[in-house]
Amino acid sequence: MATTNATIDLASDITDSSLAVSNTTQLNTAGTTTGVNTLTSVTKVLSSTDHVDLITTGSVSTTHAYVYINNPSTDESQYFHVHIGNAVGSGTYDDGTLPTEEIGTLYAGDWMWFPWDVDDDITIKPSTSDDMTVEYMVFS
Amino acid sequence: MATTATLTLASSDIAGDPVSVTKTATLTKAGSLIDLDQSTGLSRVHLRSATNKVLLAANAEGNNLAAKVYIINKSTDASLYVTVTINAQTIGKLYGGDFMFIPWSQTDTAASIEVAATSWTASTGDIPVEYALFHEDTDFLTNA
């Protein structure tokens, strides 16, 4: 058992009264207070706009994991569509009939953090065919 | 007018060497360096149903615009979880104390973010959930 903590700090002055949120959680196995004990950390460089696998269910041996994905680019034209569900490669993309759901778009400098039920692959589609770097970590 | 989100991941023993990652993002409009300028603020609901409930309703006009969603399960019971789905696609389970922070595309009006207190029973008590949306699309206002 390992002890891993995740902390989020949100600060916003969009509203007249500023928002400041800070929360820390320990990353535990499903429904327990036992810490996760497996970490995968990967950096990939993608060079096409194909919709491809990023994290496959076969790479994780549990049904509860925590995922961090980062787009380290500083070029605002370089972003990733992040999906959950099967990749379609260079085929028809997101036509509403495919078994994939777009979660969101990770723009340059953005990161995302979420629990994953390891039921479907996490897939991405880069915005350009330039070399685009994506980083991810999986705790399980 | 800026919003920043910082994630810190730290562990001294999950690997042979300590792990420490800190990443800050300044939330901007789609494909630009202009700050997001709209927010729902921080909201709180108490879930008492294992049935999916719409937390944030999608608006297809949000597609290709930037939006970020923060959700946290404020239960102190590690066994009580909330299942988060988008368009019936399960993303994952937020156990007591867990949070998520994701971009949200809303590719169509079916892409609402829904939550279910899947482990809830009459004896567990309500599961408190807090959430916030930061976005650029004015039409979110009537749907949030």
The dihedral over CA atoms of B50, A10, B62, A129, expressed in degrees to the nearest 10, equals -110
Q: Nearest-CA distance from A133 to chain B in Å?
A: 16
* Set of chain B residues whose Cβ sits within 8 Å of the Cβ of A140: none
Domain ranges within chain B, ordered by starting residue: 37-142
Query: What pLDDT is recorded for position A14?
Result: 94
CB contact under 8 A, A19 and B39: yes
* Set of chain A residues whose Cβ sits within 8 Å of the Cβ of B7: 6-8, 68, 111, 113
For B54-106, write each residue's pLDDT tens digit: 999 987 766 778 999 999 999 999 999 999 999 889 999 999 999 999 999 88
Q: Tell the residue number behind the tokens 């692959």, with chain if given.
A: A121
Query: What is chain B's Cα-based Rg?
Result: 16
Nearest to A14 among B11, B38, B84 (CB): B38
Query: What pLDDT is recorded for position B59?
Result: 79
pTM: 0.95
Pairing relationship of beta strands A111-116 and A65-70 according to DSSP bridges: antiparallel
Pairing relationship of beta strands B81-86 and B113-116 according to DSSP bridges: antiparallel
Output A85 or A99, whichever has higher pLDDT: A85
Output A1 or A91, whichever has higher pLDDT: A1
For A58-67, write each residue's pLDDT tens digit: 999 999 999 9
Arithmetic mean of pLDDT, A2-6: 97
Please tell me whether residue B51 adopts helix, strand or coil conformation.
Answer: coil
Pairing relationship of beta strands B19-26 and B89-95 according to DSSP bridges: unpaired
Pairing relationship of beta strands B81-86 and A65-70 according to DSSP bridges: unpaired
Q: Is B129 exposed, middle or buried (0-12, 13-18, 19+ CB in 10 A)?
A: buried
Phi-psi region of B31 (alpha: psi -120 to 50; beta: other; left: phi over 0): left
Arithmetic mean of pLDDT, A90-112: 78
Q: CA B58 to CA B107: how far, in whole Å?
A: 8
Query: What pLDDT is recorded for position B94?
Result: 98
Q: CA A75 to CA A64: how far, in whole Å?
A: 33
For A14-45, write each residue's pLDDT tens digit: 998 999 999 999 999 999 999 999 999 999 99
CB contact under 8 A, B39 and A119: no
Question: Taking the CA of residue B47 as centre, how many other CA atoms within 13 Å lie in the half-sphere pointing to its CB?
Answer: 31
Query: What pLDDT is recorded for position A91?
Result: 66
Q: CA A105 to CA B136: how far, in whole Å?
A: 14
Predicted confidence band at A96 (pLDDT cuts at 50, 70, 90)? Answer: low
Q: Going from the N-terminus, what domains does chain A have, and what CATH number goes with each?
A: 1-36 (no CATH), 38-139 (2.60.120.10)
Q: Nearest-CA distance from A10 to chain B in Å?
A: 5
Contact of B85 with B58, CB cutoff 8 Å: no
Query: What pLDDT is recorded for position A98?
Result: 57
Q: CA A113 to CA B26: how far, in whole Å?
A: 15
* Set of chain A residues whose Cβ sits within 8 Å of the Cβ of B3: 10-14, 19
Query: What pLDDT is recorded for position B122?
Result: 87
Q: Nearest-CA distance from B133 to chain A in Å?
A: 11
* Set of chain B residues whose Cβ sits within 8 Å of the Cβ of A8: 5-8, 70, 99, 101
- The fold of the B37-142 domain, in CATH, is Jelly Rolls (2.60.120)
| Cβ neighbours of residue A95 closer than 8 Å, sequence gap 6 or more | none
Query: What pLDDT is recorded for position B58?
Result: 87
- What mean pLDDT, rounded, does chain B reach? 91
CB contact under 8 A, B11 and A113: no
Nearest to A37 among B6, B14, B25 (CB): B14
